[in-house]
């Protein structure tokens, strides 16, 4: 049975439209990714460096627990 005239090129037309639509979606997605990537890279320039020595000027011995607090801290760290 021959294919009706109005359906003869239907598969090809559908394939062409589908491929064009997928291609357009791909281009849009890639453009959005590119813009987002460029924005992220641009925002890196706005970051400030952290302080190099956050504990500068502090005496480490003053930060260490003393006496009973030392034993409690050690027990807490060792889980017992």
The domain limits of the chain are 1-47
For the segment 7-22, the average pLDDT, to the nearest whole number, is: 90
- For 73, residues 6+ apart whose C-beta sits below 8 A from its C-beta are 65
Contacts of 65 (CB under 8 A, 6+ apart): 72, 73
Quote the pLDDT of residue 72.
84
Share of the chain above pLDDT 70, in %: 96
Give tens-digit pLDDT for 41-70.
Answer: 888 888 777 776 777 777 777 777 788 888
* pTM of the predicted model as reported, rounded to 2 decimal places: 0.47
């Amino acid at each position: 049975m021959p294919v009706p005239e109005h359906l003869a090129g239907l598969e090809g037309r559908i394939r062409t439209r589908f491929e064009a639509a997928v291609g357009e979606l791909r281009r849009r997605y890639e453009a959005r990714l590119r813009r987002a990537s460029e924005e992220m890279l641009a925002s890196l320039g706005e970051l400030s460096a952290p302080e190099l020595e956050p504990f500068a000027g502090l005496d480490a011995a003053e930060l260490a627990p003393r006496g009973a607090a030392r034993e409690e801290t050690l027990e807490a760290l060792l889980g017992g």
